[in-house]
Amino acid sequence: MKLPTVMKYRSAASLPQSLQRLFRQFSNFVFPAECALCGDRDHNSFGEDYSGNSAYCIVCREKLVPDISCACSRCGAALGEFSKTTEGCVHCRGRKLAFDSVICMGMYKDELKQAMLGAKWSWSSVSMESLAELFWEKRGASLRSLNIDRIVPMPQHWHQRLVRHFNPAGIVAELLGRRLSVPCDPHILCRRRRTRPQKRVAVSQRFENQKDAFRLRDAFVVRGERILIVDDVLTTGATCSEAARLLNSAGATRCHVGVISRVLDHSA
């Protein structure tokens, strides 16, 4: 019998620390943890101090965040080592983006694409929480340097909330809020209308598809603040740009974007 990693440890969360460790050791013996990406059950592959806090083994965690020699600060796209990004890059140059910069963990391909698809459509939020933790581990210094005042996750329409088990952006935003010790506000930005999924819309029409898709509640609270808009993936930037436009109009001084992955293939 196999039990998902996070299911084993939820019930131990309220125990004293010493009992938590004993519970985890017992659980690992009875229900061996399994990497959500490669399926490996070898505890050594999770590290000597593995406590069930990651859904991925050490080998897969390294594959999920390959080295990026150069990235566009405006849109987060991986670029060649000597690329010039003063006015953006080939992926975003000429686009009117309302946010100031993008920080992402990696490009939406290979192992990261596989992990993202598995995490987004899982019954459990464990894999998405693990990706969020890995994002902070690898990009925490860059995120901290933004001096963020408030984190705003991209909201789901109520139709989506009926069929999705959780909001991936909300999972990532909540963890980043704890790590940065700033408020995570999942209610200030809400969808006022249901838009067509971006991947089903022509690239040239994606900004129009998101136009006036959001509204702000208690907009005065963002006045003078530096905002981090959080989503799971970013492709053209249309959705985050529309959210940033609205936050800027309410008086936010800066709007940055944090995403797990950056999609360069618009058909993905």
What is the amino acid identity at position 202?
A
Domain limits of the chain? 5-63, 66-262
Q: Which two tokens mark 113? A: 């694409």
3-state helix, strand, coil in the chain (%, to 5): 40, 15, 45
The reported pLDDT for the residue numbered 25 is: 55
Say how many C-beta atoms besides its own lie within 10 A of residue 92's C-beta: 19
Classify burial at 237, counting beta carbons within 10 Å of its beta carbon; exposed 0-12, middle 13-18, buried 19 or more.
buried
Q: Say if CB 180 and CB 258 are below 8 A apart.
A: no
- DSSP string covering 118-161, please? HHHT-SSSHHHHHHHHHHHHHHHHHHHTT--SEEEEPPPPHHHH
The reported pLDDT for the residue numbered 3 is: 45
The reported pLDDT for the residue numbered 5 is: 45
The reported pLDDT for the residue numbered 102 is: 96
The reported pLDDT for the residue numbered 266 is: 64
Q: How far apart are CA 174 and CA 176, in angstroms?
A: 6
Helices (H), the chain: 5-10, 17-30, 58-64, 110-120, 126-144, 158-163, 168-180, 206-210, 238-249
Phi, psi of 22 (to 5 degrees): -65, -40
Would you write out the chain's pLDDT as a tens digit for each of its 268 residues? 444 444 444 444 455 666 655 655 555 555 556 889 998 876 556 554 454 578 899 999 999 998 887 889 899 999 877 677 667 888 888 889 999 999 999 999 999 999 999 998 888 889 999 999 999 999 999 999 999 999 999 998 766 666 677 899 999 999 999 999 999 999 999 888 666 566 656 666 676 666 777 899 988 999 999 999 999 999 988 899 999 999 999 999 999 999 999 998 765 5
- Cα 268 to chain centroid, rounded: 17
The reported pLDDT for the residue numbered 4 is: 47
In angstroms and rounded to an integer, the radius of gyration of the C-alpha atoms of the chain is: 19
pTM, 2 dp: 0.81
User: What architecture is the 66-262 domain classified under in CATH?
Assistant: 3-Layer(aba) Sandwich (3.40)
Q: How far apart are CA 154 and CA 144, in angstroms?
A: 20
* Three-state DSSP class for residue 88: strand
What is the amino acid identity at position 144?
R
Within 8 A by CB and 6+ apart from 204, the residues are none
